[in-house]
Amino acid sequence: MEISFQQAPVIYIISDSLGETAEFVAKAAASQFEGEHVEICKIPFVSNKFHLEEIVEEAGQRPSLIAFTLVRPELRDYLLQLTFQKNINAVDVLGPMIDAISAVTEKKPKLEPGLLRKMDDHYFSKVEAIEFAVHYDDGKDPHGMLRADIVLVGVSRTSKTPVSMYLAHKGLKVSNVPLVPEVAPPEELFQLSRHKIVGFTISPKSLFEIRQARLKTIGLASNADYADYGRILQELEYAEEIMKRLGCSIIDVTNRAVEETASKVLEIYYKGDRYGNR
């Protein structure tokens, strides 16, 4: 009596990127078949017709189907042609959705492999930058500024923190350091290229009003040193002296929105990068 051993079916995942999308869909679908073992064979970064021919030839040797995410039309069409000739089931995971979105938006797709991965990388880079800004806010752990893309300096209430967070959402690692007459600035600050540092200044009158409002918000007396006009002048003079020593660019944030200030910081940052001065 002849005994035959049936091979487990294989789902070949073909992609011109990592193939994670088709793999996820294939595994989700296979999970609906209880007790059925299905092998998954992922083949990423397929970029030419010869590679497709090899895969289809192998797939034809056993029970199989092909699930693919190929954004280049010439590769999609050629694969469908090959699988039709070999009588192999093929599932285009991405194509119909691209075509549908193109129809509803009346726009042509970029047809560039790996765009989702690039979006994911940007997302995680932004999250990392936000965590960096929180961790190194307000002079915490001065060693962090050595790893920062941008370091903001200035007296208290010159919008250093909100600007840091705004820039972090752009994917930039930003730390900020308060300048206080009684506290020497960290030595790490003077180890940085001046083009990585941006100083914030503000008119004494505006800072006086901001600090008065801050004291009122937290329930403190309005005559505290924090909002004393003479003290404010002293702080601004000290900060200006430090900024001159650093040789950094200075932005007057008086009556500027956070977005406007951040835009100016970016202009300074990218100008420095262009000339190799970071």
Is the full-model pTM beyond 0.85?
no
DSSP conformational letter for 152: E
Neighbouring C-beta atoms of residue 22, cutoff 10 Å: 27
Q: What is the pLDDT of residue 1?
A: 37
202-236 burial, b at 16+ Cβ within 10 Å, e below that, comes to beeebbbebbbeebeeeeeeeeeebbeeeebeebb
| 176: helix, strand or coil | strand
C-alpha–C-alpha distance, residues 240 and 178, integer Å: 12
Q: What is the pLDDT of residue 257?
A: 94
Q: Which residue has the tokens 């820039």?
A: 167
* Class of the CATH domain delimited by 10-113: alpha beta
Q: How far is CA 184 from CA 91, 177, 215, in A?
A: 66, 11, 25
Please check whether the two domains, 10-113 and 120-274, share a CATH topology.
Answer: yes
Q: Mean pLDDT, the chain, as a whole number?
A: 88
C-alpha–C-alpha distance, residues 81 and 102, integer Å: 23
C-alpha–C-alpha distance, residues 230 and 208, integer Å: 10
C-alpha–C-alpha distance, residues 4 and 2, integer Å: 7
* Pairing state between β 150-154 and 89-92: unpaired
C-alpha–C-alpha distance, residues 41 and 270, integer Å: 44
Distance of CA 35 to the CA centre of its chain: 41
Q: What is the pLDDT of residue 80?
A: 94
Let me know: does 131 contact 171? Beta carbons within 8 Å: no
Residue 180 has pLDDT above 90, yes or no: yes
Q: Which residue has the tokens 């307000």?
A: 138
Give residue-wise pLDDT tens across range 53-106. 999 999 999 899 999 989 888 999 999 999 999 999 999 998 888 888 888 888
| Residue 51 neighbours by CB under 8 Å, 6+ apart | 43
Give residue-wise pLDDT tens across range 227-271. 899 999 999 999 999 999 999 999 999 999 999 999 999 999 988
Q: What is the pLDDT of residue 158?
A: 96
Q: What is the pLDDT of residue 114?
A: 66
Q: What is the pLDDT of residue 274?
A: 39
Residue 120 has pLDDT above 70, yes or no: no
Let me know: does 17 contact 113? Beta carbons within 8 Å: yes
Residue ranges covered by each domain of the chain: 10-113, 120-274
Give residue-wise pLDDT tens across range 3-22. 344 578 899 999 988 888 88
Secondary structure element (H or E) that encloses residue 251, with its range: strand 249-252
Q: Does domain 120-274 have CATH number 1.20.1270?
A: no
| Residue 77 neighbours by CB under 8 Å, 6+ apart | none
Let me know: does 14 contact 67? Beta carbons within 8 Å: yes
Distance of CA 211 to the CA centre of its chain: 34
| 250: helix, strand or coil | strand
Q: What is the pLDDT of residue 277?
A: 42
In the chain, what is the straight-line distance between the N-terminal and C-terminal CA atoms, in Å? 78
Q: What is the pLDDT of residue 21?
A: 85
C-alpha–C-alpha distance, residues 55 and 58, integer Å: 5
166-197 burial, b at 16+ Cβ within 10 Å, e below that, comes to bbbeebbbbbbbbbeeeeebeebbeebeebbb
